[in-house]
Every structure is written in C-alpha cells, then in structure tokens.
Chains A and B, each alone.
Chain A
Amino acid sequence: MASLIREGTGTGQGHGGGQVSELAMRSEPFVLEQQSVPDRLTVTQGSISAASPVSASGTERIYRHRLPIRISHWLNVPFLIILIMSGLQIFNAHPALYWGDRSDRDQPLISIRPIQTDNGEMRGITTVLGYKFDTTGVLGYSNGKRRAFPEWATIPSAKVLAMGRQWHLFFAWALVINGLFFTAYALISRHVTRDLAPTGKDLRDIGKAVKDHIVLRHPTGEEAKRYNVLQKLAYVGVLFVVAPLIVLTGLAMSPTIDTAFPWLLTIFGGRQAARTIHFIACFSFVGFILIHVSQVILTGFFNNMRSMVTGWFVVKRDTGR
C-alpha cells in the first residue's frame, strides 16, 4: 500500500513519500481504502490530483499543487504587495491619470487632490471622469497630510519617490523572473492545458457556475478536485492577460524602451495612456487578490492553506453516489 501512495505522489513531487505517511498517520479519518487506489492513479496521474487515498468516512486526500507551483505562488505574495504599495508611492508623485501621450493637467481621467475649503479645512477630493467624491481620511488628505494614497498604503510610508522607484523596479524584476519560471513550468508540466484552460463544457455551463457562486454554493466531491470555470477564467485572466499587460505597460513608461520599441506606445495609445492602463491592471490585481483571499477563507481556510503549503487537499466525497 505504501508503495502505491509513493508512486502516486512521485508524479508531482520528489520527496512526497515521507510526507504522505506522516500525514496519513496524523489524521485518523484517512484510513486507506485499497480497492479505490489503482484506478485513481491511472486516471489522475500528472494532473492536479495525483494520488487519492480514500477514507471510509467519506473524505479523500488529493495531491493538488506541485512544489514549483507552490513556491512560485508564495513568492508572488510579497512581490505583489511590495509592487502595489511602491507603485502607489510613485503614483502619489503625480496623482492624476490621463489618456494619450501627454499629461494635460486640465483634463485628467482621474485625479486625487487635497483641496482647502472656504473655512480653511482640508478635504481629499477624488475626481473620476469629472465626478467629484469626498475621500478625506483615505485619498487626497489623510492623517493631516496632503497625499493621494495614505501612508499605510505606500512603500516607503513617507513621500520618497526615488526610494519607491527602487523598490518597484527591483521587485518588478523579481515578479517577471518568477512569472517566466512559473509559465515555463506550467507549460512543460501541462498545468496550463490540464488544469487552467477552461473546457468547452466548462464554458457551456458558465451560467450555473455564476449562480452557484452568487449563493456561495461550493463544489464537492469530484467537482472539487478540479478548478471550476470561474476559477479557471480568473487564474487564466490574471496570469496570461493582466500580468503581461502590467509588464508591457510598465515597460512602455521607460523612455529608453520607447525609443527601442515605439510600437508599444502605439498599441497602448500613448505614454500617459500606458500609465493609466498600468494603474487599472494594478487594481485588477487588487480585486483578484481580495476575491481570491475571501474564496480561500469561505471554501475551507485550513484545507486550502494546507494544499498550497504541503500540496495535499482534502475533498468530501459526494454523498449521493
């Protein structure tokens, strides 16, 4: 029996064997049901679920995330947080966004400004496409300071553009290198084609998936072993649309890169437009992170965290089958 498990985990992880037996001993419900193991191995080999010791009490453990994916995932956590916060520091140096090549101060798409009212009071005013919002305390004016994003949202917390740029460009390299490593591994290991790319059936059933998400009904059993269609679209969207977009718009803001690849500015509609798209892509990341983290909490925080730390994920078997 032990050799069977090792064989299963071996597809994804070199040192899986010891870990499995330790986990299996630690938790009682995972009594192995011998007959179900062999066919699972053939079906799931190489995909996100690599081995499936099934317990009598209706739960099943699957090897969900392989080591390189887990490392890449956790590196992204500090990288993205630092990039977002140092990016807001850079934004604060001129807290307005424009379309086109120039920043014509009289026509910003978005601006965040401190304004002094008639009675001498300071207010933070955020203007979006001409609509003004009072955002005192967070945007425009916070903690007695005139600054677009507040101190707790920027790296460094004080207004130091030069240092913000250094943080930002160092971790931009880190994110890009990690991203290339992830992409290469995900393509070679077929993580992209097996686990991330939505199938035709996925896309046809998207209505049901949306409904399930709205009422917070989460998949169980076989369905829980794979990503659902909205999850797949979110991951593919962030990995292969938003991430390349944020890198390219970032590059488009470099004067040297603009001389080398003038078409970059052409496709994004100008340097200030590239800065605006960079900002929108950044907040797409923020939105993704908020939804991702809340889904991690809602669908079993401990189980999800364990699966991204150790690789092992527990699935409840469908009761009706």
Chain B
Amino acid sequence: MDSHERAMERRQFLKGTLGAASLVALAGCDNLSQSSWFPSILSKAEKLTERAQRAITPANALAKEYGEVDISKVFPANGNTDPGTGEYAEHVAQKFANWTVMVGGLVQTPTSWTLAALKELPSRTQITRHDCVEAGAQSASGPASRSVISYVRFNPCRMPAMQSSIVPMWMKTGCPTTRAWLLPTVSTRKRFWPTS
C-alpha cells in the first residue's frame, strides 16, 4: 500500500467516524428532546430569561406604536383561525353571545365578562407589531386592558407562593403584576404553531 492509498484510507476512516459521530450526536439530541427530564432542564432557562427581563425592563415600558402607513398589507394568522371544535362552531353560530372571559389570578375581584360587556368598556385603538418569527404591524381595537385591570384590581401578593419562593428579596419588591390571567371559555387556538 503506497502512502497515497493510506492517506485515502485514513480520509475514508475519518469521514466515516465523523459521520457516525454526528449521527449519534443528532440522535442523542432527539432522544433528549423526547425524554421526560431534559426539556424541564431546558425550560429552567425560560425562568431565568423571564426574571432577567423583568429585572431590566421598566414597569411602565410599553410596546412601540406605529402609524397607519406601517400596517402590513398581508397579516397572516399565526397557527390557525379556526380550531375546528364543535364548541367553537357553536359560538360562531351564536355570534359569540354566550362567550365569556374570566380574569383571575393575582387580583382582588376575579370577574368574568361577556363579549357585550367587554364592548361597553372604554375602548382604544392601537397599531402595534405582532411578533413570532415573522413580524407584522396591525391595528387592533377593543377594551383597553387597563379598564379590565382597574376593575379587578391587582393584588400581587395574594398568592402564598410569592412569600415562600426562593427568589431573592430584592427581586420580589415589585411583585410581578403579570401573574393575572385571562381565561376565555373556549380555546380559540388548537395550538400555538403547527408542529408538522
């Protein structure tokens, strides 16, 4: 065997080894993604991200508002516009007359609203960017969330979990005001993003 052949053989071996190693690594990543324990470790970073973002974002920071000219010509729905459930079809048929939304969580007065009741609240129109991997600007009108919030009133320290959490004291001072939740009586989305 001359040196050229040996070099070729070595190259072949290296290629094979590298190929096999990357396949094993890829399969390893997929196995980890499907395991029960690994995604929960990965999602720890989301908590860290949330805390870090809360710590550096001023409490009164708001999304940038755009002008009429910035509105996207095409504004595709993210995911889908019809979850395809019987319940949803029923709401459509009734023109959402029996649809309600419940506001609860860290609030003084958990309250539910019908669509008609929401429409009676002071309304505002805003043009903001809607972000996923895509981004588009769209004008949206409806009850200002501040009128809903001022009715239910935040009570940031209502949850016992807040006192016993391992979060350092300095991070707790401004209790997280976003821990209130909105719960529509029907899920308008089957899932956030199509997965296949």
Residues of chain A within 8 A of B72, CB atoms compared: 102, 104
Q: Given the complex, which residues of A lie within 8 Å of B70, measured CB to CB?
A: 101-102
Decide if A255 is an interface residue (CB 8 Å cutoff). Answer: yes
**Inter-subunit contact B129/A101 (CB<8 Å):** yes
Q: Give residues of chain A (159-216) contacting chain B, Cβ–Cβ below 8 Å.
A: 159-163, 166-167, 169-170, 172-173
CB proximity of B130 to chain A, nearest CB, Å = 9
* B62: chain A residues within 8 A (beta carbon): 259
Contact of A162 among B22, B58, B192 (CB under 8 A): B192
A85 to B49, CA, bound (A): 21
For residues 254 through 297 of chain A, which have their beta carbon under 8 Å from a beta carbon of chain B?
Answer: 254-260, 262, 265, 271-272, 275
For the complex, is B63 an interface residue (Cβ under 8 Å from A)?
A: yes
B 168-195 contacts with A by CB, 8 A: 192-193, 195
In the complex, residue of chain A having the shortest beta-carbon distance to the beta carbon of B76:
A105
Interface residues on chain A, size class: 35 or more
B33 near A163 with CB under 8 A, answer: yes
Question: What 0/1 pattern do residues 88 to 113 of B give for CB contact below 8 A with A?
Answer: 00000000000000000000000000
Is B73 at the interface (CB under 8 A from chain A)?
Answer: yes
Closest B residue by C-beta to A103: B134
| Contact residues on B (Cβ < 8 Å of other chain), bracket | 35 or more
How far apart are the CA atoms of A254 and B58 in the complex, in Å? 15
A94 beta carbon closer than 8 Å to chain B: yes
B45 CB-CB contact with A under 8 Å = yes
A93 to chain B: closest residue by CB: B133
Decide yes or no whether A248 CB sits under 8 A from chain B: no
A163 to B73, CA, bound (A): 31
CB-defined A-B contacts under 8 Å, sample of 22: A85-B29, A94-B133, A94-B134, A102-B135, A104-B73, A104-B74, A104-B136, A106-B73, A152-B22, A156-B33, A157-B29, A161-B133, A161-B193, A162-B195, A163-B33, A166-B43, A167-B42, A169-B49, A170-B44, A258-B63, A260-B53, A271-B131
